[in-house]
Amino acid sequence: MRILVVGGGYVGMYTALRLQRRLKQRLKSGDAEIVVVTPEPYMTYQPFLPEAAAGSISPRHVVVPLRRVLKHCTIVIGEVQRVDHAGRTATVTTLASAEDGTGGLDIVYDEIVLAPGSVSRTLPIPGLAESGIGFKTVEEAIGLRNHVIEQMDIASATRDPGIRDAALTFVFVGGGYAGVEALAELEDMARYTSRYYHNIKATDLKWILVEASGRILPEVGDAMGKYAIRELRGRNIDVRLDTRLDSCEDRVAVLSDGSRFPTRTLVWTAGVKPAPLLAATDLPLTERGRLRCTATLAVDGRPHAWAAGDAAAVPDLTAAEPGRETAPNAQHAVRQAAVLAENVLAALEGRPLKEYRHAYVGSVASLGLHKGVAHVYGRKLKGYPAWLMHRVYHLSRVPTFNRKARVLAEWTLAGLFKREIVSLGSLEHPRAEFALAAGGPGTPGGPAVPREGDGPRRRPTEPAAAGGRRRSDGFRSALGPVADPRPTEG
């Protein structure tokens, strides 16, 4: 018996971990096999990405190595290109596929768990694909940190006031968790960093948050959302509600209210959409492109197929209104994984399946060091208590005791010592120095010299990422074709 798990995120890792524990003896004897196919050999704990970007947590402590946690599973680093569930076959490309010329690898399975997660939802905005920066992966978070500090270096060194103003202007699009927390943490970090520049003051930095709706952080409620706006504006952050990004060509962000901001940094966090893989399956999808599932987390009308998390449209049995679906967030994903794993085992053993039920308990959000908002079990918190709850909650939820201890140790040390303000942008081009020394710029066959501070750049050996999850100079690109409008995802 082979169980194929597609994706190594919240649902993929926790499902495989639970199955591993319950099937340990069968795995050892060879009667069962769990295969996990994932693009990266680690699971990213995304709520810690803003703190990693601000330097409060080391990048390696934001991720959980799958091979260490899933010792009895077969880990395949690659991407599923299509799924033929009628034939119980998934076609996978691995890192070696292009090297050995064998093409895709067909993996036959008995049960499949689809948890590929989501990618950034983009719109056909001129210039977005060329200059936008995402914020869904640890590579993007660390790349953004390096980029922000690099812009301060450029502003400090240039004599051109136009370049200086553009370098010190940072535009974030999207008022959800990712956008607000990333902006708040990075603004906190940049304001602290400015004290080490002789010609840059904290007031020289311009931070702009663009949100298309009339509020931010809707998950924490209207009252706490309004408090968050007041807190951000009190730090001279320009929060623009009911405003859209119309264009970002030529390093100029043009907003729907007519404002124009020359900027070298545009961060796109305006929602997510299901992974493109789902369209390459023979499984039923909703109008928003998510897998149509039952309350037991089985794919509707397709025996032996299961799904949860961002990729699955799961009925919310606790909602007052019929027809509602569970929100695509970590709170549901972790709990769905436990039910999903038990139901897979129950189906194999002929036992009744359990329905997924979980009432939303609330949300917490960080607004920088010692600042936050929370709405949990009907109680509203703000400021330091909310920030402390944010840390305690996520410390309890990050996988493995090893990671919990390391994160707690880093937080403790951060409270005793000053922030690190170093940009390691050269990590994005580890061979650049040697290549320049060996060939020299401008010589036949020599490498081109990348411009510093240009945001996402592309490795010479990689094609442009028009619609996939290819790496692009430290930033993972999840941009779809810019001429194709994307459906709104909640």
- Annotated domain spans of the chain: 2-120+273-349, 130-264, 361-417
Distance between CA 120 and CA 122 in Å, rounded?
6
pLDDT of residue 415: 83
* Res. 379: pLDDT tops 70: yes
Which residues, 6 or more positions from 413, have their beta carbon under 8 angstroms from its beta carbon? none
Q: What would the pLDDT profile of 118-151 be if each residue is shown by its tens digit? A: 888 888 999 999 999 999 999 999 999 999 999 9
Region 5-23: mean pLDDT is 94
Residue with tokens 């950034």: 120
What's the pTM? 0.83
* Res. 372: pLDDT tops 80: yes
Long-range contacts of 379-387 (CB under 8 A, 24+ apart): 380/221, 380/223, 380/224, 382/224, 382/227, 382/231
pLDDT of residue 428: 67
Which residues, 6 or more positions from 309, have their beta carbon under 8 angstroms from its beta carbon? 7, 9, 10, 11, 115, 117, 328, 332, 333, 336, 337
* Res. 486: pLDDT tops 50: no
On the question of a common fold for 2-120+273-349 and 130-264, the answer reads yes
* Res. 470: pLDDT tops 60: no
Region 262-270: mean pLDDT is 95
* Res. 315: pLDDT tops 90: yes
Would you give the DSSP letter of residue 171? Answer: E
Q: Could you please state the CATH topology (level 3) that the domain comprising 130-264 is classified under.
A: FAD/NAD(P)-binding domain (3.50.50)
* Mean pLDDT, the chain, whole residue set: 86
Distance between CA 88 and CA 282 in Å, rounded?
11
Q: Which of 403, 181, 219 is nearest to 329 (CA)?
A: 219
| Burial (Cβ within 10 Å: 0-12, 13-18, ≥19) of residue 411 | middle
- In CATH terms, 2-120+273-349 corresponds, of 2.60.40.10, 3.40.630.10, 3.40.50.970, 3.50.50.60, to 3.50.50.60
State the pLDDT confidence band at 219, using cuts at 50, 70 and 90. Answer: confident
pLDDT of residue 434: 80
Region 284-290: mean pLDDT is 93
**Residue with the larger pLDDT of the pair 489 and 98:** 98
* Res. 473: pLDDT tops 80: no
Tokens standing for residue 255: 């907003």
* Res. 207: pLDDT tops 90: yes
pLDDT of residue 443: 47
How many residues appear in the chain? 490
* Res. 362: pLDDT tops 50: yes
Which residues, 6 or more positions from 29, have their beta carbon under 8 angstroms from its beta carbon? none
- Lowest mean per-residue pLDDT among 210-224, 297-311, 397-411, 436-450: 436-450
Would you give the DSSP letter of residue 408? Answer: H
Cα angle 264-267-268, degrees, rounded to a multiple of 5 = 140
pLDDT of residue 426: 62
State the pLDDT confidence band at 165, using cuts at 50, 70 and 90. Answer: very high
Task: For the chain, give the percent of residues with pLDDT over 90.
Answer: 64
pLDDT of residue 475: 33
Long-range contacts of 476-480 (CB under 8 A, 24+ apart): 476/134, 476/136, 476/137, 476/139, 476/140, 477/134, 478/119, 478/120, 478/122, 478/134, 478/136, 479/120, 479/122, 479/128, 479/129, 479/132, 479/134, 480/119, 480/121, 480/122, 480/273, 480/276
pLDDT of residue 440: 62
- Lowest mean per-residue pLDDT among 19-23, 178-182, 382-386, 436-440: 436-440
pLDDT of residue 425: 64
List alpha helices for 158-286, DSSP H. 161-167, 177-193, 222-234
pLDDT of residue 480: 35
State the pLDDT confidence band at 427, using cuts at 50, 70 and 90. Answer: low
* Res. 85: pLDDT tops 90: yes
Region 211-240: mean pLDDT is 92
